[in-house]
A and B are shown apart, each in its own frame.
Chain A
Amino acid sequence: MGVPLDQDTKRGLTLIAPPLVYALALLAGPLLAVLVFSFWTQDYLTIDRTPTLANYAEALTDPIYRTIMGRSIAISGVVTIVTVILAFPVAYYVSFHVRPDRKSLWLFLITIPFWTSYLLRIFLWKVMLGFNGVINSALTGLGLIDAPLTFLLYNANAVVLTLSHAFAPFAILPIFVALEKIDRSLLEAARDLGETAVTTFLRVTLPLAMPGVIAALLIVFIPTVGDYVTPAEVGGPGGLMIANLIQAHFGGLNNAPMGATLAILAMGIVTIIALATVLIARKLSGGAR
């Protein structure tokens, strides 16, 4: 029996319309525009609207683009893994070892640094790592080194360190939420059935926390690939990433179609890696649920 739209469906559609139209107009539309743009070419100031794959061919073959794209993925990958590994014990501690009424306070403590200006945090890492920075001053002062260390700043390591710092709360929170959801009697049951503390962790806690870990991996990986400020500030020439390249094409290099192509490629690669991560993680955790 064909039922016409009932009252509730109508109300739902009416409510979702404004935010949906907004997202269609300012997100879906523009993303589509970027896609169209990426098939055009630009010669100095004139844009040639004949659709072509030339930009893609160039982006995928030119060693400069390939190097920077590869570096972006590699840096983000390392940042993601480092951040999640560093974050897990913290989330575990707050979930399992902090009194319930203190948990909010701990989460608050962890998120406060995140609410300080992003630009200033990155700049402060420059101060930490710089030639006359905190670390060098401290080490020189202690007499451990004679001359300031120069490998701290303006390279890929500095980018990894700074991004790991910036995204730490993003990794901690989803893992914490997943750990909180674990029924504590499951752990007691595992111990009761003869598991040790270590095997209980490996066979019960970790698999159950997996959705949170996957969420953390994605939440850190996706935005870091597209990060602009950190590589520009602390990366030096060897630490530049894809976002810097995209920005350059829209700005100084004045080749917007190439910038659009790089943006589309970056999105595509990120999406593939994200989906692969989810699939692999699902496989590893035995396809649970």
Chain B
Amino acid sequence: MTDAPLIRLRGLQKYYGDYHALRGIDLDIERGEFFSLLGPSGCGKTTLLRVIAGFEDVSEGTVVLAGEEMTRVAPNKRPTNMVFQSYAIFPHLSVGQNVGFGLRKRRDLTADAKDGLIAEALAMVGLDGYADRAAHALSGGQRQRVALARALVLKPKVLLLDEPLSALDKKMREHMQVELIRLQRQVGITFILVTHDQEEALVMSDRIAVMFEGGVAQIAEAEDLYRRPNSRRVAEFIGTMNFLPATVTGDRVSVPGLGEVPLAAVQATATTDGETVVGFRPETATLLFDGQADTDHVASGHVAEVVYYGDMTYYDVALSGTEATVRLSMRNVFGRPVLEIGAAARVAWSPGALVLFR
């Protein structure tokens, strides 16, 4: 029983009239995990979160939470709590009344005990002494903290977060990402985060499910997902990737512009002979500057475009003998000049970073 996953979703289907919002979702989420549902808008990630919370009925399939079948159980009877995208702070109540809202029905607690829990929850999110403030006077970041405290004070088995950081500015968002990770480790509750921001998902999650059009495309740990995307689509959605046409013949892969390598050296999702595509991340290849010796795998070309970012420079290199242009990201080293457009370029790449797609 304790070994079973905390959340077990099987065969979830959801229709809105003719619109097929969830197309057969099977998912297990473990106790204490920080799990993210990542995908573009309209991919069904929010619908899936609301199915777990109980706000949406599924057309088919089952939802099991902590070993109990909960597919048709009302949201107020589930061991989940939600942080809404708009935070949904009750504007006519004080901060303390907001945080204590879910404790209202706890007959086993005295008023003092409840006040203690409220103060504790507020302290946990860094809002000590805010209990008597009016809720509508709070800033965006403070509202979010109140929403977190309001959910965590109930000690749910699962905390559901629906794009909780999307309304914050960049600085605040980065700050809250770290804060959320710290909070999750501190309380040990399973967090399920919905986001369309791949960077946010990579930063925060133990595991990520990438969703497209109502289905799960890949479930993996952050590093795995980044290094070994199982499809071009996932690779394109997460970070940047260079794609080049390639041909598989027997146990060799030939990539025009780069060269030929053994199939065993690359990361392959398919090994059938024929035309295919390989990809590599911009930071897995480097430009060789004057005085740097060639390595085993070097492609030549010229610089087609330079984008300067301060700490980084992005180079687009047109590979000799092909139509292909690849993007490289280079950390700027003090004293080293930035190459100019048209300059000859040597690109050192590694076969192990190549991902072969179907």
Q: Do chains A and B touch in the complex (CB under 8 A)?
A: yes
**Number of A residues, CB within 8 Å of B:** 4
Please determine whether A1 and B57 come into contact, CB atoms closer than 8 angstroms.
Answer: no
A7 to B74, CA, bound (A): 12
Complex: A87 Cα to B243 Cα, angstroms: 64
Q: Mark B15-59, 1 if CB is under 8 A from A, else 0.
A: 101000000000000000000000000000000000000000101
Closest to B60 in A: A1
Inter-chain contact B57/A7, CB cutoff 8 Å:
yes
What's the minimum C-beta distance from B50 to chain A, rounded to whole angstroms?
A: 13
Mask of B243-259 contacts with A, CB within 8 angstroms, 1/0: 00000000000000000
The tally of CB-CB contacts under 8 A between chains A and B is: 7
Kindly list chain A residues whose C-beta atoms are within 8 Å of the C-beta of B15: 1, 3
Q: How many angstroms from the CA of A21 to the CA of B59 in the assembled complex?
A: 32
A6–B55 Cα distance when bound, in Å, is 12
* Alpha-carbon gap, A244 to B317, bound state (A): 86
Q: State the main secondary structure of chain A at its contact with B.
A: loop
Q: Which residues from 2 to 53 on chain A have a C-beta closer than 8 Å to any C-beta of chain B?
A: 3, 6-7
> In the complex the two chains form, what is the Cα distance from A7 to B54 in whole Å?
13
Give Cα A280–Cα B347 distance, bound, in whole angstroms: 67
| A7-B58 Cα distance, complex, nearest whole Å | 12
Q: Considering the chains assembled together, what is the distance between the CA atoms of A1 and B23 in angstroms?
A: 13
Closest Cβ neighbor of B13 among chain A residues? A1
A148 to B17, CA, bound (A): 73
Closest chain B residue, CB of each to CB of A8: B57
Question: Contacts of B17 on A, CB cut-off 8 Å?
Answer: 3
CB distance from A1 to the nearest CB of B (A): 6
B residues in contact with A1, CB < 8 Å: 15, 59
Give Cα A7–Cα B17 distance, bound, in whole angstroms: 14
Beta-carbon nearest neighbor of A6 in chain B: B57
Q: Which residues of B contact A3 (CB under 8 A)?
A: 15, 17, 59
Identity of the chain A residue whose Cβ is nearest the Cβ of B20 in the assembled complex: A1
- Chain B residue contacts of A6, Cβ below 8 A: 57
B residues less than 8 Å from A7 (CB atoms) = 57
Contact digits for B45-83, partner A, Cβ 8 Å, 1 yes 0 no: 000000000000101000000000000000000000000
**A7–B57 CA distance with the chains assembled, in angstroms:** 9
A1 to B21, alpha carbons, bound, how many Å?
13
A6 CB to nearest chain B CB (Å): 7
Contacts of B59 in A (CB 8 A): 1, 3
- Bound Cα distance from A3 to B59, whole angstroms: 8
- Chain A nearest CB: distance from B214 CB in Å? 14
Instruction: Report the bound CA distance from A7 to B59 in whole Å.
Output: 12
CA distance A6 to B59 in the complex (A): 10
Shortest C-beta distance, A63 to chain B (Å), equals 57
Query: Closest CB-CB distance, B74 to chain A, in whole Å?
Result: 10
CB distance from B2 to the nearest CB of A (A): 34
- Residue of chain B at shortest CB distance from A7: B57
Give the complex CA separation of A289 and B59 in angstroms.
Answer: 37
With A and B bound together, what is the CA distance between A6 and B17 in angstroms?
10
A1 vs B15: C-alpha distance in the bound complex, in angstroms?
A: 8
Chain A 142-171, CB-CB to B under 8 Å as 1, else 0, gives: 000000000000000000000000000000
For A2, the closest partner residue in chain B by CB is B15
CA gap between A3 and B18 in the complex, in Å: 9
Interface mask (A214-254 → B, CB under 8 Å = 1, otherwise 0) = 00000000000000000000000000000000000000000
A28 to B59, CA, bound (A): 38
A246 to B57, CA, bound (A): 55
Query: How many Å lie between the Cα of A7 and that of B15 in the bound state?
Result: 14
Could you tell me which A residues sit within 8 Å of B by CB distance? 1, 3, 6-7
Q: Which 3 A-B pairs have the closest CB atoms?
A: A1-B15, A3-B15, A6-B57
CB pairs A–B below 8 angstroms (7 shown): A1-B15, A1-B59, A3-B15, A3-B17, A3-B59, A6-B57, A7-B57
